Amino acid sequence: MAKIGVLALQGAIKEHIQQIELLGHEAVTVKTSDNLCGIDGLILPGGESTTIGKMLERNDMVEPIKAMAQQGTPMFGTCAGLILLAKKIKDFKTPHLGLMDVEVERNSFGRQVDSFEVPLSIPSIGDELTAVFIRAPHIVSIGEHVEILATYEERIVLARDGQFLGCSFHPELTDDVRILEFFIGMVNEFIKVPR
């Protein structure tokens, strides 16, 4: 059983926790750096990336999360979480965590009123996954070791950079847990590595 932390400063926290528990793993609500102790993976949920970034700084969580990343801890960012993970944010000087070797563009699929759902086929995960896009970013460019897992309208919406998984949409807002299962597979790989 993996112990998965969910950053609980803002956003779709409850839905991630429910899906983790549905798959038989332990979910940990992460509000302070102390809550990071002992977790095997970390999910950074959607919400408002600038607000969450400021709360990370205010709660002195940026460096502890970066330290976890240096130890190889898998991290999964959805929507705003992808923006938090990215090394570059288009039209912004400074990234939040700067961990995943991608550049993202915020709100690239429109405003809240432009939210939509589409079926996506993701070769390494499965067919007909419902992707919920809400003020979603997309990945503009990737580093040489980043694997593109899914695109929509020729824009990268799901990618993996080693221990980091970044997603433009909200898989936790559907009943389909296959992307979360993929991330937990990454976590299980990490658990098996001697630390």
Distances (CA, A) of 6 to 12, 21, 70, 114: 10, 12, 19, 27
Amino acid letter for position 170 = H
Measured distance CA(86)–CA(83) in Å, rounded: 5
172 annotated active-site:
yes
37 annotated active-site:
no
Query: 3-state DSSP call for residue 39?
Result: coil
Catalytic entry in 79, 96, 105, 167: 79
- Strands, E assignment, 61-105: 75-78, 86-89, 100-105
Amino acid letter for position 107 = N
170 annotated active-site:
yes
Measured distance CA(69)–CA(63) in Å, rounded: 10
Give the torsion sign (CA, 166, 170, 176, 181).
positive
Measured distance CA(169)–CA(173) in Å, rounded: 9
Catalytic residues: 79, 170, 172
